[in-house]
């Protein structure tokens, strides 16, 4: 399980750097300033959580339910939040109606918040070395 979590963190980190590079160069020609700013929010949160998942993935043994809740909340939340923003950013360019994704994005944010709140609880309740 630990290896899977670390792999996902690495994939999130790698893909956020790639997407950030495209956003800084190629996507400037395709997206409005507003859509590009939204896209960049998705990239930033993906990188922040890639680093957080990597850190706790290295720190945790992945033995407790709290540890798994933190990591999987961040993994799911980051995917839902960032990917929905990426798709919404390109919807006009592609000429498709993806407005139904609008309510999905905050769900991803909620999962990320659950992960952070659980981490706070973890450090209050679990003895650390």
Residue 126 has what pLDDT?
81
Please state the separation of Cα 59 from the chain's center in Å: 19
pLDDT confidence bin for 128, thresholds 50/70/90: low
- pLDDT of res. 51: 99
Q: Which domain holds residue 4?
A: 1-125
Q: Tokens 């896209």: give the residue.
A: 39
Number of compact structural domains in the chain:
1
Q: What is the pLDDT of residues 80-91, one digit of tens each?
A: 999 999 999 999
pLDDT at 76: 99
User: ∠ CA 123-124-127 to the nearest 5 degrees?
Assistant: 65
98, pLDDT greater than 90 = yes
**Residue 108 pLDDT more than 80?**
yes
The average confidence (pLDDT) of the chain is: 95
Average pLDDT over residues 31-50: 97
Output the pTM of the full model. Answer: 0.92
Could you give the percent of the chain with pLDDT greater than 90?
96
Percent share of the chain, pLDDT over 70: 98
Distances (CA, A) of 14 to 17, 21, 89, 95: 5, 11, 20, 28
Residue 42: pLDDT above 90? yes
Four-CA torsion 14, 19, 21, 24, nearest 10 degrees: -150
Alpha-carbon distance values, 51 to 23, 72, 79 (Å): 20, 14, 14
């Amino acid at each position: 399980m630990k290896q899977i979590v670390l792999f996902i963190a690495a994939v999130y980190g790698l893909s956020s750097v790639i997407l950030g590079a495209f956003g800084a160069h190629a996507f400037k020609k395709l997206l409005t300033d507003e859509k590009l700013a939204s896209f960049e929010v998705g990239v930033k949160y993906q990188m922040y959580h890639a680093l957080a998942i990597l850190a706790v993935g290295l720190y945790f043994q992945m033995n407790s339910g709290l540890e798994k809740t933190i990591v999987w909340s961040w993994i799911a939340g980051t995917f839902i939040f960032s990917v929905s923003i990426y798709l919404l950013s390109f919807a006009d360019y592609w000429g498709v109606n993806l407005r139904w994704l609008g309510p999905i994005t905050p769900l991803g944010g909620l999962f990320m918040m659950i992960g952070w709140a659980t981490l706070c609880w973890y450090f209050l309740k679990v003895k650390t070395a």
